């Protein structure tokens, strides 16, 4: 399931890497592309060190340069100096991902500033469908196809009308298990590229949100850093009961947060010392993955074709920090009880099993309930992880945590949405017991996992 992937890489690599741009013009000489030390295995190892589960490659960005030897255009690696035109970046990355047990995904820009027929909508749509056919039939399983809505005029001065429905149908035919992301029907953009997350991220939202990123006046038209860092609050509440009451049809449309480890998406040597700090990246991780969204982190290879040493080191730091903070579940040794359960198949012990197909729930119509963890001895906690059984929907609307110390209960944390995963953080407390009180839910609540953690003392 896509949501269980949680955290993966967005690798921007291509002509812009060698021209020191974020957006190319499409007029670049293919011979500029020449990563003399390219090593897809190094990318995979670095991603895995951060505990990532997948890698999405920018197979073609807006400049139209293809990282595979497309038969539909000469503007590709087969016209480059790299490997005398006989190389295939997509092939090597896909193979390295499979060898490293990392899932492989593709980004393909609908906007193409090189292709002459862009703006002749029927002709270009045929061209783009042909590129999808090449990528999705020649490189093995793909876990996601990632589109953005960037859209500009063609050389003929005309605006291209993307045939999204035909694109989706081609993906479903060739890669039926692939998730179509952002400008697609399966997952939605969080609304910015700054790593900002909503306080409550709901997976059930109005169906009309599926069309927002496909609207031309909402799409990105310029290489504008402000667009990438813009945070808006006008849509902070997408899925509360109040927000969806009169919204019409609803859909399951979970969110993905995307941001870059650097100020830019592509590599720029002048940014080698400008990486996001470990603390900032962990905060983004906890808000995204710990807030019912997946996290897509950009890591740009340099002109050698390698992740820069600084980036690789930061990725390893992320993985080590996550292991230290979340690698030991203190709830595994606890006992758990609930105010009520539907039956033996949904008893409270299921939340400690580690099997997300098993879950606790009360009976139909029981919208308020509580679970209590009791530890064999007093210990320190600073995080609690909650996970709903999302195959049963996102149901919890309000919850509160409390800890017991010397016979009295103290409030720790309160929130609304849980969804796939909610990581609740608070000041360290010493406790013998933890209570999760669900104050509101839709029909009945579920929990598939309940974990408790303490970060190492500084």
CA-closest candidate to residue 150, choices 264, 64, 89, 68? 64
- Percent of the chain past pLDDT 90, that is, above it, reads 82
The domains found in the chain, sorted by start residue, are 2-326 (3.20.20.80), 330-453 (2.60.120.260)
| Per-residue pLDDT reduced to its tens digit, 301-332 | 999 999 999 999 999 999 999 999 999 999 99
Which DSSP string corresponds to 172-227?
A: HHH-TT-EEEESSSSBEE-S-SS----SS--SEEEGGGGGGGGSGGGS--S--HHH
The answer, yes or no, to whether residue 7 has pLDDT greater than 60, is: yes
Q: Give me the half-sphere count of Cα atoms (radius 13 Å) on the Cβ side of residue 305.
A: 17
Band (pLDDT 50/70/90 cuts) for residue 155 is: confident
Cβ pair 132, 82 in contact under 8 A: no
Sign of the torsion formed by the C-alpha atoms of 361, 365, 367 and 370: negative
Please give the pLDDT value at position 210: 78
CA-closest candidate to residue 195, choices 145, 251, 262? 262
Please give the pLDDT value at position 162: 94
Please give the pLDDT value at position 225: 52
Please give the pLDDT value at position 194: 59
Average pLDDT, the chain: 92
- E strands within 388-454? 396-405, 408-415, 422-441, 449-453
Average pLDDT in the 217-238 region? 51
Band (pLDDT 50/70/90 cuts) for residue 243 is: confident
d(CA 151, CA 165): 17
Of 112-116, 196-200, 447-451, the least confident: 196-200
pTM: 0.94
The answer, yes or no, to whether residue 239 has pLDDT greater than 90, is: no
- Percent of the chain past pLDDT 70, that is, above it, reads 93
| Per-residue pLDDT reduced to its tens digit, 406-445 | 888 999 999 999 999 999 999 999 999 999 999 999 999 9
């Amino acid at each position: 399931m896509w949501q269980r992937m949680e955290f993966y890489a967005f690798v921007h690599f291509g002509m812009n890497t060698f021209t020191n741009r974020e957006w190319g013009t499409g007029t670049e000489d293919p011979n500029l592309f020449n990563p003399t030390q390219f090593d897809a295995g190094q990318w995979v190892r670095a991603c895995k060190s951060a505990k990532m589960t997948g890698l999405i490659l920018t197979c073609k960005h807006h400049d139209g340069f293809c990282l595979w030897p497309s038969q539909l255009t000469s503007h590709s690696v087969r016209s480059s100096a790299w490997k005398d035109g006989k190389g295939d970046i997509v092939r090597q990355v896909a193979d390295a991902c499979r060898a490293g047990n990392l899932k492989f995904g593709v980004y393909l820009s609908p906007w193409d500033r090189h292709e002459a027929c862009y703006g002749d909508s029927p002709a270009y749509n045929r061209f783009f469908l042909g590129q999808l056919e090449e990528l999705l039939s020649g490189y093995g399983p793909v876990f996601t196809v990632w589109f953005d809505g960037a859209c500009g005029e063609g050389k003929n001065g005309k605006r291209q009308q993307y045939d999204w429905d035909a694109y989706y149908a081609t993906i479903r035919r060739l890669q039926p298990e692939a998730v179509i992301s952002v400008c697609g029907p399966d997952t939605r953009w969080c609304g910015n590229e700054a790593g900002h997350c909503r306080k409550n991220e709901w997976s059930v939202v109005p169906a009309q949100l599926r069309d927002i990123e496909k609207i031309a006046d909402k799409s990105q038209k310029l290489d504008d850093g402000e667009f990438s860092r813009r945070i808006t609050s006008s849509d902070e509440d997408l899925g509360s009961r109040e927000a969806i009451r009169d919204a019409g049809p609803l859909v399951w449309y979970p969110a993905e947060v995307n941001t870059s480890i650097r100020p830019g998406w592509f590599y720029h040597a002048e940014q080698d010392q400008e990486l996001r700090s470990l603390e900032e990246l962990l905060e983004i991780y906890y808000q995204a993955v710990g807030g019912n969204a997946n996290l897509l982190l950009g890591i740009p290879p340099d002109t050698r074709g390698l992740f820069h040493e600084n980036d690789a080191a930061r990725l390893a730091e992320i993985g080590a920090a996550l292991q230290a903070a979340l690698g030991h579940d203190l709830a595994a040794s606890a006992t758990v009880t609930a105010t009520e359960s539907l039956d033996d198949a949904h008893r409270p012990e299921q939340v400690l099993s580690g099997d997300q197909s098993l879950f606790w729930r009360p009976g139909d119509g029981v919208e308020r309930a509580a679970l209590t963890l009791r530890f064999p001895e007093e210990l320190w906690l600073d995080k609690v992880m909650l996970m709903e059984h999302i195959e049963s929907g996102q149901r919890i609307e309000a919850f509160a945590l409390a800890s017991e110390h010397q016979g009295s209960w103290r409030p720790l944390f309160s929130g609304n949405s849980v969804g796939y995963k909610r990581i609740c953080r608070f000041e360290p407390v010493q406790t013998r017991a933890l209570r999760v009180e669900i104050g509101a839910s839709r029909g009945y609540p579920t929990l598939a996992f309940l974990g408790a953690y303490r970060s190492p003392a500084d």
